Structure 1
Amino acid sequence: MSFLKKLFGGNGREGLSSSEVVEHEGFMIYPEPTNEGGTYRVSARIEKVINDELRSQRLLRADTSSNEEEASRTSILKAKQVIDERGEKLFDGPSA
């Protein structure tokens, strides 16, 4: 079963459906809030295929929420903001 999740874009977290993956300006956003002992840190994976190569960048914010769904929504909003500000430059350098 986890093989299928990886194959079809799941990240192995229970409860996250593929419908929560969001496309924005050609980028794919995967909300992945990090559980930190009862609070969830805003976090997402941003991906885009550029020149036939899958590029990926992790967004990790200081923002937290006590609710995982709210943290997922905020992760998507923050990822969209970063995409709008940086575009493909998001993938320049090791910690872009």
Structure 2
Amino acid sequence: MSFWKNLFGGGSSNAEPAGDKVLGEEGYKGFLIKAIEMKAGSELQLAGTIEKDIGGELKSYRFVRADRMSSRDDLTALALAKGRQIIDEQGEAIFA
């Protein structure tokens, strides 16, 4: 039964839910990238959001990657770099 709960969101997880602490942010090509603190056990997992105002509506895209580290500074730098990469590859299509 616990397998099904974990699969469909009924179980607990080591990762914290949305609303995590913003570690850093930067503007890039009209987008706002935020590095998010997402704990995974004793480490931090790479996560962030990309936001842009399109037609008066704030669009948001959340990304989570498998990379884990213990340094908040390293995590922030990598999350912002990953956000820039996603924007360069997909642009506004990430909101579609």
Give the TM-score normalised by structure 1: 0.74
Q: May I ask how many residue pairs the two structures share in their alignment? A: 78
Larger-gyration structure (1/2): 2
Identify the residue that residue 51 of structure 1 maps to in structure 2.
55
**Is residue 27 of structure 1 aligned with residue 36 of structure 2?**
no
Give the AA of the match of 1:38. Answer: S
Identical aligned pairs, as a percentage? 32
**4+ residue segments displaced more than 4 Å:** none
Kindly state the Cα deviation for residue 68 of structure 1 after the two structures are TM-superposed: 1.7
**Is residue 62 of structure 1 aligned with residue 61 of structure 2?**
no
Give the AA of the match of 1:13. Answer: K
Give the TM-score normalised by structure 2: 0.74
Gaps of 5+ in 1: 1-10
Kindly state the Cα deviation for residue 56 of structure 1 after the two structures are TM-superposed: 0.2
Identify the residue that residue 72 of structure 1 maps to in structure 2.
76
Kindly state the Cα deviation for residue 67 of structure 1 after the two structures are TM-superposed: 1.1
What do you get for the CA RMSD once the two structures are aligned? 1.6
Partner residue of 1:13 out of 10, 21, 45: 21
| Structure richer in strand, relative to its length | 2
| Equivalent residues of 1:33, 1:75 under 8 A apart | no
